[in-house]
């Protein structure tokens, strides 16, 4: 511990003394060693791969070989020559590769979640819930499967960690075999997936991936051959995940021929765009996207037809929206605003990814377990979006302001049918999965999901039955994800 404290003090002095002060945009995170190493991780159940053995990793050079000893000596000697910029990169990525790339994904989602141009033609903003759900799920799956292959090779070849070879690393590292590098696997898988999804950002992403990988050499955590092996295996895994992405049906979700569904809607008053001019809804056929879990079970979580607008139950729900809108409390304003997650944000999906980050840190999850947590949660949330969109574009239930234009909303009215609440569905799915992974946090997580669900009612854009249906559906989808997790081999 003294070594790391000394290192931090020295780092700060170097930063202050440097001619060009580096910028640490996320601050210096607390450095902690992972709570577990999970040597059996290579046997865990993957998502896209059939098993971690699908991707072969070549046997590394022996630690007694001249080639390896030269690499090791170079890393040791290089530790004394690390400059402030390199030191900044070491501390930045030492917070966790999976977490950092999830932050990058959230940053990109927020960047492209722009307010649509008011041309009356554009389908919607470029990034909405269905887009964001898919981005986070694909990224997490690529990271997780790549790390499963990494863990299998680590304990197959058992190249000792550098701390076991008398290297005083600049940051704490997991005491796991160093070959292949888990950071190189994360960096390459993340870069390739995000570059596929955000091609205009490919050069910037490539720069980030290169820095991430090289930071592990500057930190004294890996030699270059560790990095090369991690990079190669991740390239193979990313190709398989991208192949799935190309056939997941998302292209059909963008089909604007949604009026045929509207014509079949059984509800007595159907949704219409409240935007001026009216605009087609966002990714209306997202229900056609391939689910990550049992598609039949996910489909069964779909809620039934809500009460007709002429029913006493509907009128009671509408009256509640009116009363809240007319006398919204300070706390209701806060909740509506906190969970709005509209244009310019990383959407409700990103909101839950941010919440998960704190839990991962508190639990000191290693990279493999972190990737599993995100892969479980993000797949559940995407499946929640699928069933939510299936329901929205089956019934086309109008928003409260369509029935009563006098209702004053606290947030922008989403340009989509209201039933069920997407916030409620997504949040219930996320909280259910996270409560399974972090059972001590279940009460807090469920409270946050309940607040996210009710935020739509407080904001005046949902009826209470929207939120209740979404919560029930999302909870069911979350449980389906948990059933999968119970058989994935993780203890």
Q: Could you check whether 35-62+73-246 and 254-486 share the same CATH topology?
A: yes
Region of residue 460 (left: phi > 0; alpha: psi -120 to 50; beta: else): left
Find all residues with CB under 8 Å of 354, minimum gap 6, and list them: 106, 346
Domain positions in the chain are 35-62+73-246, 254-486
User: pLDDT of the chain along its 491 residues, tens only?
Assistant: 333 434 343 344 333 333 343 343 555 556 778 999 999 999 999 999 999 999 999 999 999 999 999 999 999 999 989 999 999 999 999 999 999 999 999 999 999 988 665 544 344 445 789 999 999 999 999 999 999 999 999 999 999 999 999 999 999 888 999 999 999 999 999 999 999 999 999 999 999 999 999 999 999 999 999 999 999 999 999 999 999 999 999 988 776 688 899 999 999 999 999 988 898 887 888 888 999 999 999 999 999 999 999 999 999 999 999 999 999 999 999 999 999 998 889 999 999 999 999 999 999 999 999 999 999 999 999 999 999 999 999 999 999 999 999 999 999 999 999 999 999 999 999 999 999 999 999 999 999 999 999 999 999 999 999 999 999 999 999 999 999 999 999 99
Arch. (CATH architecture) of 35-62+73-246: Orthogonal Bundle (1.10)
Retrieve residue 206's tokens. 């490539």
Nearest to 372, CA basis, from 293, 454, 488: 488
Q: In which element (H, E) is residue 480 found?
A: helix 464-485
- Taking the C-alpha atoms of residue 189 and residue 175, their distance in angstroms, rounded to an integer, is 22
| Omega before 53 within 30 of 0, i.e. cis | no
Answer for the pair 162, 173: CB distance below 8 angstroms, yes or no: yes
Answer for the pair 163, 175: CB distance below 8 angstroms, yes or no: yes
Read off the pTM.
Answer: 0.92
- First-to-last C-alpha distance (Å) of the chain: 29
Check if CATH label 3.40.50.300 holds for domain 254-486.
Answer: no
Find all residues with CB under 8 Å of 7, minimum gap 6, and list them: 170, 171
- Taking the C-alpha atoms of residue 130 and residue 384, their distance in angstroms, rounded to an integer, is 10
């Amino acid at each position: 511990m003294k070594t790391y404290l000394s290192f931090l003090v020295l780092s700060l002095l170097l930063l202050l003394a440097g001619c060009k002060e580096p910028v640490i945009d996320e601050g210096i995170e607390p450095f902690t060693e992972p709570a577990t190493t999970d040597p059996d991780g290579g046997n865990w159940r993957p998502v896209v791969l059939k098993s971690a053995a699908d991707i072969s990793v070549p046997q590394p050079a022996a630690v007694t070989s001249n080639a390896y000893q030269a690499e090791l000596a170079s890393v040791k000697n290089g530790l004394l020559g690390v400059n402030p910029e390199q030191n900044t990169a070491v501390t930045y990525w030492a917070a966790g590769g999976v977490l950092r790339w999830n932050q990058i994904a959230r940053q990109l989602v927020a960047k492209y979640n722009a307010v649509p141009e008011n041309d009356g033609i554009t389908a919607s903003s470029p990034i909405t819930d269905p887009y964001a759900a898919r981005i986070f799920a694909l990224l997490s799956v690529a990271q997780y499967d790549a790390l499963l292959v990494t863990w299998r090779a680590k304990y197959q070849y058992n190249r000792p960690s550098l701390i076991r070879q008398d290297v005083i690393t600049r940051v704490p590292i997991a005491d796991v075999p160093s070959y292949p590098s888990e950071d190189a696997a994360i960096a390459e898988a993340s870069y390739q997936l995000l570059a596929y999804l955000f091609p205009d950002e490919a050069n910037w992403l490539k720069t980030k991936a290169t820095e991430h990988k090289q930071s592990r050499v500057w930190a004294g955590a890996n030699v270059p051959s560790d990095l090369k092996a991690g990079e190669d295996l991740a390239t193979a895994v990313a190709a398989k995940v991208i192949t799935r992405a190309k056939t997941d049906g998302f292209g059909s979700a963008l089909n604007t021929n949604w009026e045929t569904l509207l014509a079949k809607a059984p509800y007595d008053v159907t949704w219409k765009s409240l935007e001026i001019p009216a605009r087609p809804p966002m990714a209306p056929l997202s229900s056609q996207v391939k689910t990550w879990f049992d598609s039949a079970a996910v489909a069964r979580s779909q809620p039934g037809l809500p009460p007709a607008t002429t029913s006493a139950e509907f009128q009671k729900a509408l009256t509640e929206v009116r009363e809240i809108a007319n006398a919204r409390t300070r706390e209701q304003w806060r909740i509506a605003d906190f969970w709005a997650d509209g244009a310019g944000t990383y959407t409700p999906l990103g909101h839950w990814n941010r919440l998960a980050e704190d839990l991962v840190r508190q639990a000191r999850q290693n990279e493999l377990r972190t990737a599993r947590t995100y892969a479980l949660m993000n797949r559940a949330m995407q499946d929640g979006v699928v069933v939510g969109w299936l329901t929205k574009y089956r019934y086309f239930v109008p928003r409260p302001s369509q029935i009563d234009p006098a209702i004053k909303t606290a947030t922008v009215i989403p340009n989509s049918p209201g039933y069920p609440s997407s916030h409620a569905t997504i949040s219930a799915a996320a909280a259910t999965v996270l409560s399974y992974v972090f059972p001590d946090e279940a009460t807090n997580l469920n409270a946050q999901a309940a607040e996210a669900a009710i935020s739509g009612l407080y904001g005046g854009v949902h009826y209470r039955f929207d939120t209740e249906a979404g919560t029930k559906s999302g909870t069911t989808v979350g449980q389906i994800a948990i059933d999968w997790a119970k058989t994935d081999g993780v203890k």
